[in-house]
Chain A
């Protein structure tokens, strides 16, 4: 049940993706700062997707999305173009509208002026996200030199209803070997995806979403969760593999199973996780250990086995579910937050080895997601958790799943070693 508080506006209904839905409803406004480089590739992608592009706001129109190419901005003065273009159009964003700003990686700037101007985009977009109304979002994509070829899956994701609960995020796109996607309704066609902790909640939603996007899905969970797991497997037309991922031989058994049954796999989603909340002073060693074993150690060992035993096909994507608790910390969750922060460290450390093999590994950090776990929270804590984000509401398991599915696409090649939060731009961990 969602609580209605007098004086507090009801949260907007977010536009979420359903099969067959157009990328956006209506023409998209695109602005370009002088000397920017992405106008042509962006327009080409949009036109290819059947989206009408407008380059100037001649008459007042309601925009489903505003795109601004700020890659050419190289000094503080240049930032004026950003303000001049976005400010008047921003109030005309439709409900669930999108502000997407493109920049160049600030590290690439040889001059402090350039780096400062590009980094300024970050603060701009995050603030715009907080001012956005009616379910609209704002996100920033830094595109490295030579990374233009890998733009499409990311642009499509941020424009579409798939990114409904993703706001205030900064994504870095580096050059990488992106595989072409021919069928955007089924970007995971012919790919094999594996999801741990898939019997219920976010894991089940990930299995559903990967399957909807065309993947053949293998779902994993504890043997004790087998009944629900079998149901998920049968729903998505996949296979169920009951395994305790913390068992000593689990990584090698899993690797052998995946090779025997599928030859190799394309997407591996580490979703299995547990909470055993206690304040630090009252935390028994077993609760500390069990959370770290399931949430972190199992992922490390499985990733190593997947690499050592050649289970991942070239172009493979590994996605690890972290948490905003792992970024911001959370009272009573020293064990959980440690494990979820550890995941980010692991993802960053594995990234170079993955890149060498044309693979990626990334973390997705959900914020407040409506699941059985959050249903069990005390009412006031839950209501606050729901509200303290720019969209003033909790996300759904499918929101996490959509982000996972985007990172799992063969075309999402240039994003590696990053953390994407699915939190409605929560004030925690920003």
Chain B
């Protein structure tokens, strides 16, 4: 096997994230992914470049989009000779595609590639009623007219009702928010803590926009120039007025203000070998050092649905001989404010760290001023598969600006999964 070489993160591009049913309501996943790719092509002069590969994905996907990424590449300004494939690991998709591309670069299989992700909560797939689908398939298999007529008699008015995608875990029937509410209660995360955290996310994101941090990370799309759900004037008072939407009455703490909004958007990250970047005089913002994915048994195992990153991080740290405190930036995806706060508490808790994570001492606490310094999903929005690319590009640029150090990315995902990674300044 070839010597490993660390993949360089050259840069990123995304479209501003939009509120669901907002300005991107009529844009498909393919439209948005193509736009994100084209913006990246324009930023780095990749017109007609044949890249090693493009890996991308979407969580909510139409059946016709079976080859979503390849179709987007064919519609974008890259060379049509660039191969592409789809990845789907719920909200971990965007980071997982980054890991895929980086690993192939590390192994010497490709010189460069794009990792991307897209999601629309507006243009969601609506499926035919399951009963109706069965009858239609039988009719398709039927060989004679009488057989078909007999099947026609099986059609019922109730079959007109379509299947809509649900924001629920198939094995528990509970929504992600309800799952998160359980974890929030277990860790005793207060409403105030969550609201404070959400306010910080909005303020940090707004400050980053204001100082032009996103000038070379975002390309406007369909008239939207900034992340639509961002509220620069968010305050404890404004958030306090919101009613809880997840959890049981009385103890419920999770509101629309401290949970991520349904969003539409797409992001893309350009990775390559250091040589390729230098040859083309492209910047190297950071390197991807290592990554880890974990899953928890939230169905029978008594662990929270979104707690997998709590397990993935210590494994990643151990393998890299690092402590939780050895980072200059922490990018923890804000599915819900309580998820981030619960994970941080878990790492500080000696008993949890010993019993669940098998650690002799707790991972400890982190410097909160290093956490999501330019805001995260609560403010920016969370088009599921696009979040990973947003975070990777943001952190890579933060590291490039600092000129040294390393950052930790942690993303929780549906199905009790978590994807985490370490970036290091170039």
Contacts and interface: CB of A to CB of B under 8 A. Distances in A.
Interface of A: 223-227, 229-231, 233-234, 237-244, 247, 260-263
Interface in B34-83: 35, 38-39, 41-45, 47-48, 77
B219 A227 contact: yes
Contact of B42 (A225, A230, A243, A261): A230
Dominant secondary structure of chain B at its interface with chain A:
loop
A233 B47 CA distance: 9
A247 B281 contact: no
13 contacts: A226-B219, A227-B222, A230-B39, A230-B42, A231-B38, A233-B42, A234-B41, A237-B47, A237-B48, A239-B45, A240-B42, A241-B216, A242-B219
Given A234-B77, A240-B43, A223 B218 contact: yes
Nearest to B281: A261
B215 interface: yes
A239 B216 CA distance: 12
Contacts of A233: 42-43, 45
Given A234-B47, A242-B215, A229 B42 contact: yes
B221 interface: yes
B42 A263 contact: no
B219 to A, nearest CB: 4
A377 B338 CA distance: 55
Interface residues of B, number: 24
Nearest to B45: A239
Interface of B: 35, 38-39, 41-45, 47-48, 77, 212, 214-216, 218-222, 225, 281-283
Nearest to B41: A234
Contacts of B216: 241-242
B44 A239 contact: yes
A225 B216 CA distance: 13
Given A230-B41, A241-B216, 7 more contacts: A223-B218, A223-B220, A224-B225, A230-B39, A242-B216, A247-B212, A263-B281
Contacts of A260: 281, 283
B212 A244 contact: yes
Contacts of A231: 38, 42
A224 B214 CA distance: 11
B181 to A, nearest CB: 38
Given A260-B283, A261-B281, A223 B43 contact: no
B281 A234 contact: no
B218 to A, nearest CB: 7
Contacts of B222: 227
Cβ-closest 8 pairs across A and B: A230-B42, A233-B42, A240-B42, A239-B45, A226-B219, A234-B77, A237-B47, A227-B220
Dominant secondary structure of chain A at its interface with chain B:
helix
Contacts of A223: 212, 214-215, 218, 220, 225
Contacts of B41: 230, 234
A239 B43 contact: yes
Contacts of B45: 233, 237-239
Contacts of B283: 260
Contacts of A241: 43, 216
Contacts of A239: 42-45
Contacts of B38: 230-231, 234
Given A237-B45, A262-B281, A226 B212 contact: no
Contacts of A262: 281
Contacts of B282: 261
A163 B115 CA distance: 47
Contacts of B43: 230, 233, 239-241
A226 to B, nearest CB: 4
Contacts of A226: 39, 218-220, 225
Nearest to A239: B45
Contacts of A225: 220
Scoring A227, A239, A240, A247 by chain B CB atoms within 10 A of each residue's CB, the highest score goes to A227
Nearest to B224: A227
Contacts of B44: 239
A261 B216 CA distance: 14
Contacts of B215: 223, 242-244
A87 to B, nearest CB: 53
A240 B45 CA distance: 8
Contacts of A243: 212, 215
Contacts of B219: 226-227, 229-230, 240, 242
A239 B282 CA distance: 11
B399 to A, nearest CB: 17
Nearest to B76: A234
A247 B212 CA distance: 9
A230 B225 CA distance: 14
A187 B212 CA distance: 36
Contacts of A238: 45
A260 B44 CA distance: 12
A376 B214 CA distance: 32
A263 B282 CA distance: 11
A234 B219 CA distance: 13
Contacts of A242: 215-216, 219
Contacts of A261: 281-282
A238 B38 CA distance: 12
A262 B77 CA distance: 22
Nearest to A228: B220
Contact of B221 (A227, A247, A263): A227
B275 to A, nearest CB: 17
Scoring A223, A225, A261, A263 by chain B CB atoms within 10 A of each residue's CB, the highest score goes to A223
A239 B42 CA distance: 5
B193 to A, nearest CB: 34
A244 B215 CA distance: 9
Contacts of A247: 212
A173 B35 CA distance: 47
B240 to A, nearest CB: 33
B299 to A, nearest CB: 44
A224 B220 CA distance: 6
Contacts of B212: 223, 243-244, 247
A231 B43 CA distance: 11
A61 to B, nearest CB: 47
B369 to A, nearest CB: 24
